[in-house]
């Protein structure tokens, strides 16, 4: 085989490999597009089915009725997709149990999703304010249905509302816990401050008692202790200045004095 023929054959095999790679990539892209289209079609079908469904609201759930019994009762009138019942307040359940009442869980309200919204509307119009019926010994035989069809209401709206309520409840609980924590910390600080003040007052009281004891001990010292020496200080004094002699006048003679006093007698 000549060199030219070898180069041609080598170039042909390279183009075939590139063509196979391109074909494989195109197949992968086609598979991805097919999966996306299937997923999109599935979502479209689910959305269409959701648009056909209808939701009814029960403002009151009869006592001792749960999901199973409610589905059994309402399935007689139409196909049911989903049911959601709101449990009662736990405090009310505890109070009822203490009073000797029904010990199970009661439900305050609920939502029922029918596969067909026209069936849901017909069921709500037909059963609202009507006796539940059934067996006469049933606990809710004389109870009335409180059911209403929710126009343009979808199950996603309910889940969003439930999620919002749960988030609000969690936020409220977090605020309550935070407030309780702050109150506890404040109380503990006050307790520590009171302990410090009490310890300080106790130390001052002990110090005062010690000082009083020392003062009483000093007052009881015996008298035979050496007396203190008194210090007398002497200061030099100047001699007093003599008074100036009074001027002396001429003295009278005794003869004159006797003649004066003698003549008078």
User: Is residue 229 very low, low, confident or very high in pLDDT (cuts 50, 70, 90)?
Assistant: low
Q: Is the pLDDT of residue 114 over 80?
A: yes
Which CATH number belongs to the domain containing residue 89 in this structure? 3.30.70.330
**Number of neighbouring beta carbons within 10 Å of residue 123:** 23
Question: Cα angle at 135 between 132 and 138, to 5 degrees?
Answer: 75
Residues 196-208, mean pLDDT to the nearest whole number: 88
Pick the most confident of 97-106, 175-184, 229-238.
175-184
**Number of neighbouring beta carbons within 10 Å of residue 77:** 15
Low-confidence winner among 86-100, 138-152, 196-210 (lowest mean pLDDT): 86-100
Report the mean per-residue pLDDT for the chain.
Answer: 78
Q: Which of 50, 56, 53, 52 is CA-nearest to residue 123? A: 56
166 and 127 part of one domain: no
Q: Which of 141, 143, 71 is CA-nearest to residue 110? A: 71
Q: What is the pLDDT of residues 153-162, one digit of tens each?
A: 888 888 887 7
Residue that wins the pLDDT comparison between 140 and 50: 140
pLDDT for the residue numbered 120 = 92
77 and 162 part of one domain: no
Q: Is 217 within a domain?
A: no
Residues 102-128, mean pLDDT to the nearest whole number: 89
59 and 124 part of one domain: yes
Q: Please give the Cα distance from 109 to 59 (Å, whole number).
A: 5
Torsion over CA of 5, 7, 11 and 13, rounded to 10 degrees? Answer: 70
135 and 113 part of one domain: yes
Q: How far is CA 54 from CA 43, 66, 114, in A?
A: 18, 21, 5
Q: Please give the Cα distance from 187 to 111 (Å, whole number).
A: 46
Q: Is the pLDDT of residue 152 over 80?
A: yes
137 and 189 part of one domain: no
Q: Please give the Cα distance from 205 to 185 (Å, whole number).
A: 30
Domain boundary among 153, 177, 193: 153
Predicted structure pTM score: 0.50
Residue that wins the pLDDT comparison between 264 and 127: 127
Structural domains of the chain, count: 2
pLDDT for the residue numbered 224 = 56
Which letter does DSSP use for residue 131 in this model? B
Lay out the sheet containing 54-58: strands in order across. Answer: 80-87, 107-114, 54-58, 147-150
Domain boundary among 212, 230, 253: 212
Q: What is the pLDDT of residues 68-104, one digit of tens each?
A: 999 999 999 989 999 999 888 878 778 887 877 777 7
Q: What is the pLDDT of residues 36-80, one digit of tens each?
A: 777 777 766 666 677 788 999 999 988 888 889 999 999 999 899
Q: Is 41 within a domain?
A: no
Give the structural domain span for 184.
154-212
Q: Is the pLDDT of residue 6 over 50?
A: no
Q: Is the pLDDT of residue 226 over 60?
A: no
């Amino acid at each position: 085989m000549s060199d030219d023929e070898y180069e041609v054959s080598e170039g042909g095999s390279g183009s075939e490999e590139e063509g196979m790679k391109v074909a494989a990539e195109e197949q992968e892209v086609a598979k991805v597009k097919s999966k996306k289209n299937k997923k999109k079609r599935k979502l479209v079908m689910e959305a269409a089915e959701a648009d056909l469904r209808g939701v009814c609201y029960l403002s009151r759930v009869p006592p001792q009725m749960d999901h199973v019994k409610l589905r059994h009762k309402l399935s007689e009138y139409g196909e049911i997709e989903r049911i959601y019942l709101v449990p009662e307040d736990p405090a009310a359940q505890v109070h009822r149990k203490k009073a000797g009442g029904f010990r199970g869980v009661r439900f305050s309200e609920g939502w029922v999703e029918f596969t067909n919204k026209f069936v849901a509307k017909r069921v709500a119009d037909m059963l609202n304010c009507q006796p539940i019926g059934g067996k006469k010994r049933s606990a809710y035989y004389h109870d009335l249905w409180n059911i209403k069809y929710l126009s343009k209401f979808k199950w996603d709206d309910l889940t969003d509302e439930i999620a919002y309520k749960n988030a609000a409840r969690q936020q409220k609980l977090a605020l309550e816990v935070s407030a309780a924590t702050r109150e506890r910390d404040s109380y503990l600080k006050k307790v520590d401050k009171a302990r410090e003040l009490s310890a300080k007052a106790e130390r001052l009281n002990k110090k005062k008692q010690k000082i009083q004891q020392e003062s009483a001990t000093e007052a009881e010292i015996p008298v035979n202790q050496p007396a203190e020496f008194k210090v007398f200080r002497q200061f030099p004094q100047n001699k007093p200045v003599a008074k100036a002699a009074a001027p002396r006048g001429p003295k009278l003679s005794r003869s004159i004095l006797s003649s004066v006093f003698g003549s008078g007698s």
